[in-house]
Amino acid sequence: MKFSLVFLQLFLTVVSVDLAPTEDTLVLLHVLFRHGNRTPDKFGWFPKDPHADNNFEPFGFSQLTTKGKATEYKIGQYLRRTYGKFIPQQYTPDVLYALSTNYKRTKMSLQLVLASLFPPLATDVFVDDLNWQPIPFNIEQGAGLIGIPFHYCINFAIHYSRYERSEEAQKILAGYKELYQQVTTNTGIEVESPQTLANIFGTLESEYDIGLKLPEWTSEIFPEVLEEAAGVFFEFATGNTILKKYSAGHLLRKILKDSLSKRKGILPEGRKIFLYSAHDYNVAAVLRTLNVFNRHVPPYGATVFFEIHNIEGIYGLKLYYQDYKQTDPKLLTVPGCSSFCELDKLYRLIEEYLPGENDACTPLHEIH
């Protein structure tokens, strides 16, 4: 019996080593990232903000700063450095699908990632000393994969409102009563929901990032306390199955569909990578729907990597998250699966969160 157990353990060890994903087994890559560092936007405006009259020139409201441009450019450099053997140096139309939400800061962020991911080869140079080439990308006009459902989906708003009034949500909010009261007093705006608090945190985060002095009242609660409280908003926005469908289900369905299409051999032959330029909301919603989210606000440039590997005919996912708390992205494991999660098993684990025909929203418009 002892011999059998030892042999079984050795066998499983050998199998696990043999099936370990490597760059040679990588067949497809999906990358979702938050835009770069930005100026404050008007969503988070509050009357007692000492910088309320600042127009944030020359950038304007809600736009990438110079630092934010560098953040995104480094994402493309990381992709080129890490996946250089997998992603060809020569850009061709089939190799890439890139999509951005219809915001200036996300469109600019995607352009920066593309610029560093595909610097021109000698044959691509059309102006001397210009280390750049145009790479086409797509813009999501409102609804669907990476739109923010608060802005276009009445069904989402209805279900969100119901969840926020639920006993479960109210119990969570009760734990923040004193903090909400403190922030209300100091900002001059009524804070009754995690969404309002998240907007205020976003303003303070961006003001601090561009070097502005924050009000004295923030000294004991920014960033850690306010960030933790702001992270509740993402949990509420994915508080039940229907909310997860609207917040992340469409994108996860596409990622799975494209990965399974790769397995079937029906993707464009040269397709290597999908890029999605979006917001902290999208990053958090995807992590939360996959049940790998720890309460926080994904920082500027936060990135989720979906590596699809083919190991001896088995197609599966390795999931990584870069939140810049360490040098390299963290390997995440979807509960119920291993760190290499076979695609069919992953589908079964998240199937209830993948939207059907009756879960679509009618697009209205984006804000910016």
Rounded to whole angstroms, how far apart are CA atoms 45 and 51? 10
The contacts of residue 255 (CB under 8 Å, 6+ apart) are 30, 274, 306
Output the pLDDT for position 246. Answer: 94
C-alpha distance from residue 236 to each of 156, 228, 230, 241 (Å):
12, 13, 11, 11
Rounded to whole angstroms, how far apart are CA atoms 200 and 230? 9
**Selection from 275, 277, 272, 306 nearest residue 289 by Cα:** 306
**Span 62-72, average pLDDT:** 97
Task: Give the CA angle between residues 191, 170, 354 to the nearest 5°.
Answer: 100
Rounded to whole angstroms, how far apart are CA atoms 208 and 237? 26
Q: Copy the structure tokens of residue 50.
A: 């000492």
Output the pLDDT for position 360. Answer: 72
Amino acid at 236: F
Torsion (CA) 266, 268, 272, 277 in degrees, nearest 10: -100
Secondary structure E strands in the chain = 26-34, 96-101, 138-140, 273-278, 303-311, 314-322, 330-332, 341-342
pLDDT digits (tens, 9 = 90+) for 310-332: 999 999 999 999 999 999 999 99
pLDDT digits (tens, 9 = 90+) for 182-201: 999 999 999 999 999 999 99
pLDDT digits (tens, 9 = 90+) for 207-266: 999 999 999 999 999 999 999 999 999 999 999 999 999 999 999 999 999 999 999 999
Contact between 142 and 364 under an 8 Å Cβ cutoff? The reply is yes
Output the pLDDT for position 18. Answer: 46
Domains of the chain (ranges; CATH) run: 22-150+244-359 (3.40.50.1240), 154-237 (no CATH)
Q: Mark out the alpha helices in 27-175 (DSSP H runs).
A: 66-82, 104-117, 154-164, 167-174
Output the pLDDT for position 10. Answer: 41
